[in-house]
Amino acid sequence: KDSAALDRYWAQFESSEAKVVELSSRLSESTGNAAARKLLGEFRSAHDAMGQRYRSALQAFKSASGDPAVGDEKVTGLDRAPMELLVRAADGLSADSMSAFSASKASAVNTLWMALIGAAIVVVAALALLWWLVERMIMDPIRLAVENAEQIARGDLTRSIEIKGGGEAGQLLVS
């Protein structure tokens, strides 16, 4: 009965209707799922038909002097078919999203394993290098010192001692 309020509500309806059309079009264009794209096209057609029926119901409502029963009778159940199409499209898109997520997760796990294996190889190589350095710089001079000390203990003072380093092991050999 308040025509200004009715005009406001109708303007909100048309704004929402336009947003639904825009969003469903963008969604349809952005998906690679042909079945969902087809369902979204069917949804837009059903949504357009529903909008026309709502417009017809508005005219009937106005003709009936604002009797809500007349308008309600014209629109009852109109949203079921478009909603079912939208739900089916959403189910298909959801399945695609889950599939893409699973593939991404598997790829991430694979990448993580490759990184861990690479890190393990680097650690093993670093430990091998460290072992080699310890052998060469510490253990070899100590073995040489032990060998020389054993020869001296047996009374052999003729052996010459070759000193290759200037560290503590070299000082021990000089002594």
71: pLDDT strictly greater than 80: yes
User: pTM higher than 0.85, yes or no?
Assistant: no
Q: Which helix (H) or strand (E) holds 126?
A: helix 80-134
Amino acid at 32: G
Which pLDDT belongs to residue 161?
Answer: 74
Q: How many residues appear in the chain? A: 175
User: CA-CA distance, 39 to 88, in Å (whole number)?
Assistant: 7
Per-residue pLDDT, averaged over 4-11, amounts to: 92
Q: What angle do CA 10, 12, 18 make, to 5 degrees?
A: 105
Q: pLDDT digit string (tens) for 84-127?
A: 999 999 999 999 999 999 999 999 999 999 999 999 999 999 99
Nearest of 45, 58, 140, 116 to residue 85 by alpha carbon: 45
What is the pLDDT of the chain when averaged over all its residues? 90
User: CA-CA distance, 99 to 81, in Å (whole number)?
Assistant: 27
Lowest-pLDDT choice from 13-27, 39-53, 146-160: 146-160
Cβ pair 41, 80 in contact under 8 A: no
Nearest of 17, 160, 4, 139 to residue 78 by alpha carbon: 17
